[in-house]
Amino acid sequence: MSRFLKKQYQNLEPYTPGEQPKNQKLIKLNTNENPFGPSPRAAAVISSGEVSKLMLYPDPEASELTTAIAQYYNLEKEQVAVGNGSDEILAFSFMAYASEGSNIWFPDPSYGFYKVYADIYRSKAGPIPLTEDLRIDPKKYKNLNGTILIANPNAPTGIALNLNDIEDIIASNSSNLVIIDEAYIDFGAKSCVPFLQKYDNLLVIQTFSKSRSLAGARVGFAMGSKELISDLNRIKFSFNPYNLNRLSISAAAAAIRDEAYFQQTRQTIIKTRETFTKQLKELGFTVLPSSANFVFAKSSRLSGEEYFHGLRERNILVRYFGKEPISDYVRITIGREEDMEQLIFATKELLGKGN
Ligand code: PMP
């Protein structure tokens, strides 16, 4: 830390991203990436010409992409804003609605970045503990005072809220903005995008990083009323108008138009998750009911830490958070079927079960 850093940042605890190992031999199941490549159409648009235009700035409005997203969700183009990953959209939302002493309520545990953004933007964070069985209790989110931010499905549990509960939260907070982070929505839960027709206090955030296999392209987006979207664009154009590069704009627009590939890959992941969950349960694990592309699981015989290290020694990388109330658990991304088979094999070894 230099002597020039402002005092307010000196105690900031940055987000710790999951490890991105250089060792290619590792089976990487730690950051909820999609094991399948992006849509071949996304690769094709990049190689067919977009690279040769890189001397030009990208369209600051990313119109090709906002139009494609709006079409997909039956919205108007002015109801969609894009960001450099949904992390940036979250950052814009904190800046716009929850900075400098305003209240923001979110579940705890949830996506770790919420707390970091609350710190950097000096929000008054109100973490709301999960129930003992690690669920969001919708009753605790009624009639609050301040912005509400909920990941649905929640991370790292993978447990989804049903739409009735979400609607009750939105309806009972008509003076508050309710932000639903749907990063994992395409793996089994129901999106609350249709509520945008009915409520002007709802902002839905999604990403191309998971179900669209484009984590490396960094594309996220928000959907909401034209007024909310214009707020986010006001922040974006005051911060970084060219937040999405040319390649990512084209790749994401092509990806969202490739419905067949999207359906095929997400269904495969869902199917693999169900088989894998069953296998883990047969080995005595508690596995939370996941609607995401990962499962959150604990063994009755190995501590979370032992399991994490045991897998790591066998070249399998999963995510271990090591804090209460989730220190017994590890989060395992759903990879290819063969990755999960290797993980089950390693787990049997660790449990001394052989084969
Ligand atoms: N929200 C949640 C709940 C997440 O788990 C993540 C990914 N770690 C993000 C948002 C951010 O994803 P990205 O910036 O890649 O869109």
Domain positions in the chain are 22-37+260-350, 40-257
Q: Is 340 in the pocket of ligand 1 (CB under 6 A)?
A: no
Structure tokens at 282: 């047969």
DSSP symbols for 218-274:
--EEEE--HHHHHHHHHHHTTT-TT-S-HHHHHHHHHHHH-HHHHHHHHHHHHHHHH
Secondary structure of residue 93 in the 3-state scheme: helix
Distance 140 CA to ligand 1 centre (A): 24
> Which residues contact residue 140 at a Cβ distance below 8 angstroms, ignoring those fewer than 6 apart?
128
Query: Whose CA is closest to atom 7 on ligand 1?
Result: 183
| Ligand 1 nearest-atom number relative to CA 220 | 16
Burial of 258 per CB tally in 10 Å (0-12, 13-18, 19+): middle
CA distance 316 to 161: 30
| Ligand 1 nearest-atom number relative to CA 154 | 3
CA distance 185 to 86: 13
Distance 181 CA to ligand 1 centre (A): 8
Q: Is 116 in the pocket of ligand 1 (CB under 6 A)?
A: no
Distance 287 CA to ligand 1 centre (A): 22
Are both 22-37+260-350 and 40-257 of the same fold? no
> Which residues contact residue 12 at a Cβ distance below 8 angstroms, ignoring those fewer than 6 apart?
116, 119, 120
Q: Which pairing describes strands 178-181 and 147-151: parallel, antiparallel, or unpaired?
A: parallel
CATH of domain 40-257: 3.40.640.10
| Ligand 1 nearest-atom number relative to CA 84 | 14
How many other CB atoms are there within 10 angstroms of residue 275's CB atom? 14
Helix axes 246-257, 259-282, angle to 10 degrees: 80
Structure tokens at 44: 């094709």
CA distance 70 to 78: 8
DSSP code for 165: H
Per-residue pLDDT of the chain (355 residues; tens, 9 = 90+): 999 999 999 999 999 888 888 877 899 999 999 999 999 999 999 887 888 899 999 999 999 999 999 999 999 999 999 999 999 999 999 999 999 999 999 999 999 999 999 999 999 999 999 999 999 999 999 999 999 999 999 999 999 999 999 999 999 999 999 999 999 999 999 999 999 999 999 999 999 999 999 999 999 999 999 999 999 999 999 999 999 999 999 999 999 999 999 999 999 999 999 999 999 999 999 999 999 999 999 999 999 999 999 999 999 999 999 999 999 999 999 999 999 999 999 999 999 975 5
CA distance 271 to 192: 23
Structure tokens at 266: 């997400």
Q: Is 86 in the pocket of ligand 1 (CB under 6 A)?
A: yes
Q: Is 220 in the pocket of ligand 1 (CB under 6 A)?
A: yes
Can you name the CATH fold of 22-37+260-350?
Aspartate Aminotransferase, domain 1 (3.90.1150)
Q: Is the pTM of this model over 0.95?
A: yes
Q: Count of alpha carbons within 13 Å of 348, Cβ hemisphere only?
A: 10
